[in-house]
Amino acid sequence: MATVFAVGVGPGDPELLTRKAERVLRQADVILAPVSNPSDASVALDTVREFLNAERQEIIIHQFPMTSDKTRLIPAWQEAADLIAGRVAAGKDVAFITIGDPLLYSTFIYLLRIFRASYPQIAIEIVPGISSINTAAAVAGVPLAEADERIAIIPATAGMEAVIDALARYETVVLLKVKPVFRDILEVLGQMGRERSAVFVERVGSARQKVLTDLDDMAAHTPDYLSLMIIRRN
């Protein structure tokens, strides 16, 4: 029976792909790569392109709009699920590729719900990937947690109250999606006396990787969408 594979391809460095992910990608009949904008390149696809065979495999780039408007998102999710289900019905293994891990802030989570509700007969296998969080900690040399320390992972878009609360309660706070509220985050760090406890990492694992530890350098920088911050207690 054909299978849907959700493959985490890591943060953008092909060398951080797992051996299982590489095997699945080489063997799959269809590769589906998500993009938020049709004019954008797929980071996930660029990461794994060297493992693919365009002559044998069907490579599909599918748009998932970058919006919170469910009237636009739900049709895009359903269209992708139907497309994948059609390939599976034809006996083809499909690999849905996603940067990082398929079950950590990934588009595949929404597809998984649709598959379980509308296509329960389809076999699904999830191949975990190395997240940008682990990679950022590695390149910055920052421990994420030790002993009985606690860690919080927060999309900064959840609001500054959530960010401030996490900074007060947890030894380590990882902020994702920092671009929209980057200036607000820097202001809060200054107000809380946490200027020296933050690390900013952008496009980790890629040729465009940037690591900043000085708040002034961060303030002078315009962050990319694929950026995060790790904030430790002093």
pLDDT tens sequence across 128-184: 999 999 999 999 999 999 999 999 999 999 999 999 999 999 999 999 999 999 999
Residue closest to 144 by CA, chosen among 36, 232, 42: 232
Task: Answer whether 11's CB lies under 8 Å from 139's CB.
Answer: no
What is the rounded CA–CA span in Å between residue 146 and residue 203?
26
Q: What is the pTM of this model?
A: 0.91
Domains contained in the chain, CATH given: 3-127 (3.40.1010.10), 132-232 (3.30.950.10)
State yes or no: pLDDT of 76 exceeds 90: no
Condensed to tens digits (0 to 9), the pLDDT of residues 90-104 reads: 999 999 999 999 999
| pLDDT band at residue 63 under the 50/70/90 scheme | confident
CA 45 from centroid of its chain's CA atoms: 13
Rounded distance between C-alpha atoms, residue 153 and residue 184, angstroms = 18
Structure tokens at 177: 């999606």
Average pLDDT over the chain reads 94
C-alpha distances (whole Å) from 168 to each of 175, 188, 192, 220 are: 14, 12, 9, 26
